[in-house]
Amino acid sequence: MSTNVLIVGAGPTGLALALLLLRSGLTVRIIEKQSRFHPGERGSGIQPRTLELYKFLGILPDILSQSSLVPEKLRYYTAPDDGKPPRSSSFVEPLSSSPDRPMTDAKMLGQNYHEQILREHIFKEYDVRVELDTELQSFEQHPDHVVAHIIKTVDSKPLQETATVDWLIGADGARSIVRKQLGLSFLGESPAMAAVTGDIYVAGDSLTQDPIDGWVTWTQPESENTKPVLISMRPCMLPGKNLFQFFLVGADLDSVKISSSREEFIKAFHEITGRRDVVFGELVWIGLWRPNIRMVDRFSKDRVFVAGDAAHVHSPTGGQGMNSGVQDSFNLAWKLALVHKGIAHQSILETYSSERTPVIASMLDMTTKLFKKEFLVNGGQRQTLFRGNELRQLGINYRGSTLVLDEKYVDTTENTDPYRSGEDGTVRGGDRAPDAPSLTHLGANGDVPGKTLFELFTTGWHTLLIFPGSTGENLVTETSKVLREYPSDYLKSVLILPQTDTTNSSSTLVDMNLVDTEGYAYKNYAIAIDTPTVIIVRPDGYIGALITSGGSGIRKYLSGIFS
């Protein structure tokens, strides 16, 4: 069987993209040059926006069942330990959930478990496995296909293979062969520092004197004879296991030596912190990390794309990188699927780059400022770990995109940071589509309460939310007439009647009839009850169109996508 898409790299970015494309009916092959899956935690923070997208993809229950909350507080000790009580601080800004934002807390889940969940869905649902020990060597693009040259190691012997695919996607990390062969620039900076990181078990009976029961750091301040040093120990929050992710950095440390073995790390930990009562168990993995802050000038060229670390790398401060890579995949997948099937204009693929570039640029600017504040101020002494609200990624938006239509607000880009929409109380085209609970479903079996908009959104189609306003059935009739001009499998219509509607008259012209019994849908989308409005939510959960002109506006938006 021929392969539609070859994905190079089996991290969260590549795996999420594979599952999205498979759900859309494309055939996918995933190759990974490593001989085994990485055993460590690495990027473990899953932000609320990624959790929302995973709900639309249908895998959120599995993610939540294995994840834990981010620790609210951190403790800071002086190194070596002087016996004084530690200083404590908040890690995240408290934010209560709300009807429009039901998930506001990030979750902690080791990247190894995160990847395993994605792999299991891909295999169980589509019988597709990641091909380990398989490396892309080169490729050539043609007008209607890509030829990939691959080396697959079998029984220690390299076997050469040539594969012809429709599309090629590089999710192959910072050293991406795909990016390099595309000739994309990768501009930025590489600050001169190195850190030792990894995962290690801590013996439980060694923590009775002063338990390390949360996120803890030891900081050796700069003096006349010493350079600053930082050691961070973050609990991995695995039930019944004292597993910690560590991070050690200092200007005068021999990072290469410390990262060479379990014994060298333990020796350095005891010498720096003075906490010889802490007894370590098995080392899961250890490695050397060097900061690299860069991004591409564009995310694609013809039939080849890059995503995740292949397109942008950054400091780990803020927990944005892995999440940004997954969100690259959500932006690209629905567009690529529609174009491949021949029902969408190929030009929409250009918006993958134009929409993601400003978002990533804003993210890099923000996380770089955090990095410099935490590691490069006062000779390298980390200042704080506090995280602001924008890092939840709920304000990411594509306002001003050529693929977005907003008839309510003429200028959707004015004074808008790609990371911070909604702070002025408006909901605009390109913004994250809010949730709304307490919707009553009018159907043949009677009224069914409790439905939310997030239960309707999916990665498989555009959802049209019809707020009829003073036009009554006219807007519904007009919308239905326009929708018949486009592929019905990729468009779902939902009539949302206001709570003041006493007739509860359902329509047979839409896929679903709902009553906004608590008024959240109208409130969260800032729609007046008497104003006829259609909101079109894209498969990636963003508002593609905010329409007040009825059928002409719907046709204008959909004709820009569907061929």
- The predicted-structure confidence for 55-64, as pLDDT tens digits, reads as follows 999 999 999 9
pLDDT at 411: 66
Read off the pLDDT band of 503 (50, 70, 90).
Answer: low
Class of domain 3-65+110-186+293-392: alpha beta
Residue 95 CA to residue 103 CA, distance in Å, equals 10
| Mean pLDDT rounded to a whole number for the chain | 88
* Residues 154-165 pLDDT 10s: 989 999 999 999
Determine how β-strand 130-131 pairs with β-strand 73-78: unpaired
Q: Which fold has domain 195-289?
A: Alpha-Beta Plaits (3.30.70)
The DSSP secondary-structure symbol of 187 reads E
pLDDT at 197: 93
Sequence-ordered alpha helix ranges (H) in 452-535: 473-483, 520-524
CATH architecture of 405-559: 3-Layer(aba) Sandwich (3.40)
Prior bond of 80 cis (ω within 30°): yes
Mean pLDDT of 37-50: 89
Q: Which of 414, 426, 418 is nearest to 397 (CA)?
A: 418
Q: Which of 265-279, 314-328, 546-560 has the lowest mean pLDDT?
A: 314-328
pLDDT at 528: 93
Burial of 209 (0-12, 13-18, 19+ CB in 10 A): exposed
Q: Which of 3-12, 75-84, 352-361 has the lowest mean pLDDT?
A: 75-84
* Residues 245-265 pLDDT 10s: 999 988 888 999 999 999 999
SS3 391: helix
**Is the entire prediction scored with pTM above 0.95?**
no
Is residue 308 scored above 60 in pLDDT?
A: yes
* Residues 78-98 pLDDT 10s: 888 777 887 877 666 667 899
Residue 451 CA to residue 243 CA, distance in Å, equals 39
The DSSP secondary-structure symbol of 92 reads B
The domain limits of the chain are 3-65+110-186+293-392, 195-289, 405-559
Q: Is 368 or 112 the better-scoring residue by pLDDT?
A: 112
pLDDT at 187: 87
Read off the pLDDT band of 382 (50, 70, 90).
Answer: very low
Q: Is 92 or 243 the better-scoring residue by pLDDT?
A: 243
Residue 262 CA to residue 283 CA, distance in Å, equals 6
The contacts found for 409-417 with CB under 8 angstroms, 24 or more apart, are 409/546, 417/362
Q: Is 538 or 383 the better-scoring residue by pLDDT?
A: 538
Read off the pLDDT band of 412 (50, 70, 90).
Answer: low
- DSSP class per residue in 228-279: -EEEEEEE---TT--EEEEEEEETTS-HHHHTT-HHHHHHHHHHHH--TT--
pLDDT at 109: 93
Mean pLDDT of 526-536: 95
Q: Are 282 and 200 in contact (CB under 8 A)?
A: yes
Share of the chain above pLDDT 70, in %: 89
Read off the pLDDT band of 374 (50, 70, 90).
Answer: low
Read off the pLDDT band of 214 (50, 70, 90).
Answer: confident
Mean pLDDT of 325-338: 98
Q: Is 219 or 356 the better-scoring residue by pLDDT?
A: 356
Buried-exposed string 288-310: b where 16+ CB fall within 10 A, e elsewhere: ebebbbbbbebbbeebbbbbbbb
* Whether the domain at 195-289 and the domain at 405-559 fall into the same CATH topology: no
Residue 427 CA to residue 413 CA, distance in Å, equals 13
Determine how β-strand 107-108 pairs with β-strand 45-46: antiparallel
| Backbone dihedral angles phi then psi of residue 490, each to the nearest 5 degrees | -115, 15
Is residue 239 scored above 80 in pLDDT?
A: no
